[in-house]
Structure 1
Amino acid sequence: MTTNEGKVNVGRYSGKNVVITGGGSGIGFATAKLLVDGGASVVITGRSQATLDDALARLGTGAVAVRGDVSSLTDLDSLAERVKGELGTVEALFVNAGIAPLTPFESTTEEAYDQVFAINVKGAFFTVQKLAPLLTDGAGVVLTTSVANVAGILETSVYAASKAALRSLARTFSRELLPRGVRVNALSPGPIDTGILEGSISAEEAAQFKEERVVLNPMHRFGTPEEVAVAAAFLAFDATYTAGAEFTVDGGVTQL
């Protein structure tokens, strides 16, 4: 973000309360930073206390971290209680926590399959369910999907299916929550350099995967977490006549 952009953003989100799951790194952290810099009060979550501590050191006093696993309903109940105590009500919920392991079709285990769906789908569903009572009228909910849900990318079948489920939830959640004026939309990132691949596969495999994605991308590059954060904030706060939609941030790879 340039200095001028930062000046424009100052105070834009003052008085807004936000919850971001998976907010300690990558897209979640970039979104938290954008909103905190704009004056919002943000609760971030994650499974690693060290990652959350590092994020808080960079976010400053506008953020609070709650350690927990979104696949655990006990942890989500604790999160809801903490958010109620810290913020009271919530204007925006960014359901971003997820994992993205490569799962070759022939060798995918039941354990690997269950873990992806427990975190990416079950976790997202119950995050919204548990925090819905705290959402204000007119609040925005954003679910992180992926371009993998519309593209047949090798070794992503389980991950892609989990993100397709989130795309569906964006529609059905919208029907459930629109009577309260709560908008639910999906944010679909393409190849974004968040470091998540390096955390799940070898450096060599990650480098090869990235090279393949760059070649296929019309912009011939990976996007940045900050570019996705701008889209997340737009859906959460500015897209007031948009519900059940999926907004793609992918360098044009699924469109061109």
Structure 2
Amino acid sequence: MTLKLNDKIALVTGGTSGIGLATAQRFVAEGAHVFITGRRQAELDAAVKTIGRNVTGVLGDVSKLADLDKLYATIKEQKGRLDVLFANAGGGSLLPLGQITEEHFDKTFGTNVRGLLFTVQKALPLMPKGASIVLNASITSIKGNPAFSVYSATKAAVRSFARGWSVDLKDAGIRVNAVSPGVVPTPAYELLGLTPEQVKGFIEGQAQNIPLGRVGTPDEIAKAVVFLASDDSSFVNGTELFVDGGMAQI
């Protein structure tokens, strides 16, 4: 069986849990050596242990440009190039209009937009022709959700980046696409400011609005990212792949 990412060098930001960790595991299973980032050393070490092989953990926060410089210096020193970038790090919390603070806005945009932009831009010197960039967006960019407008706006920006950068990188021969997950329970849901009971109720309620009748799993998103990262999608560029059980289509 031919591995989809054999001998590729890949990076997954925010790779310590959820979709990031599942994708890093899939990348390794498909033959890649993967660098993952995380902001907490204990969680980073645990993720590296879970992945088990062909993985390097680099402590860092994508919203801090010095951390990004350190990350890419490490990749350059150890591997000399980067074939696949999954810009996954991000997050958000619930605050309705009327209660949004500067701190909430700056933190969400700082990671999801500013951090993602410079994650990609600083990677470019290491990326050869034929490389692939996958941005983690969300169906929230096109669907209204109460108290989630700031996060949703950041993901709309991510979708726009995929379009614009696919043109900017035309001459470099680097593809840029976005994956937009639907409702996929991960540890990040615990950061929304909801109680465990409220999270459970939210997930159950959302499942009723999904044509497949259920929520997704991190590994189902990871499989889609592997497709966009590999030569299987060699003529796919600037697009948004919804992985949501059909939720965004109704």
- Same fold (TM > 0.5): yes
Name the residue aligned to 2:60.
Answer: 68
What is the identity, as a one-letter code, of the residue corresponding to 2:148? T
Deviation at 1:13, TM superposition (A): 2.2
Contact 1:142 1:236 in 2 (8 A): yes
What is the identity, as a one-letter code, of the residue corresponding to 1:228? I
Gaps spanning 5+ residues in structure 1: where? 1-7
Name the residue aligned to 2:205.
Answer: 212
Aligned counterpart for 2:93 among listed residues 95, 101, 109: 101
Deviation at 1:83, TM superposition (A): 1.1
Give the match's secondary structure for 1:101: coil
Name the residue aligned to 1:250.
Answer: 244
Q: CA RMSD in A?
A: 1.2
Give the match's secondary structure for 1:94: strand
Give the match's secondary structure for 2:108: helix
What is the identity, as a one-letter code, of the residue corresponding to 1:112? H
Gaps spanning 5+ residues in structure 2: where? none
Give the match's secondary structure for 1:22: coil
Deviates more, 1:181-190 or 1:202-211: 202-211
Deviation at 1:172, TM superposition (A): 1.0
Aligned counterpart for 2:83 among listed residues 72, 81, 91: 91
Give the whole-Å Cα distance in 1 for the aligned partners of 2:154 and 2:222.
21
Deviation at 1:211, TM superposition (A): 2.2
1:204 and 1:107, CA in 2 relative to 1: closer, same or farther beyond 3 A?
A: farther
Q: TM-score, normalised by structure 2?
A: 0.96
Q: Residues 45-92 of structure 1: CA distance to partner in whole angstroms, max 9, x if unpaired?
A: 011111111111111230000011101011111111011112211111
Aligned counterpart for 2:177 among listed residues 178, 181, 185: 185
Name the residue aligned to 1:34.
Answer: 26
Contact 1:100 1:197 in 2 (8 A): no
Give the whole-Å Cα distance in 1 for the aligned partners of 2:224 and 2:4.
15
Q: Residues 120-166 of structure 1: CA distance to partner in whole angstroms, max 9, x if unpaired?
A: 00000000011111011010000000000000111110000000000
Give the match's secondary structure for 2:166: helix
Aligned pair 1:80/2:72, yes or no? yes
Aligned counterpart for 1:228 among listed residues 221, 227, 240: 221
Give the match's secondary structure for 2:132: strand
Give the match's secondary structure for 2:185: coil
Name the residue aligned to 1:158.
Answer: 150
Q: Residues 34-55 of structure 1: CA distance to partner in whole angstroms, max 9, x if unpaired?
A: 1112221000001111111111
What is the identity, as a one-letter code, of the residue corresponding to 1:218? P
Runs (4+) of structure 1 exceeding 3 A deviation are none
Give the whole-Å Cα distance in 1 for the aligned partners of 2:92 and 2:184.
12
Give the match's secondary structure for 1:216: coil
Q: TM-score, normalised by structure 1?
A: 0.94
Give the match's secondary structure for 1:39: coil
Aligned pair 1:17/2:6, yes or no? no
Give the match's secondary structure for 2:112: helix
Deviation at 1:240, TM superposition (A): 0.7
Give the whole-Å Cα distance in 1 for the aligned partners of 2:94 and 2:41.
25
Paired residues in the alignment total: 248
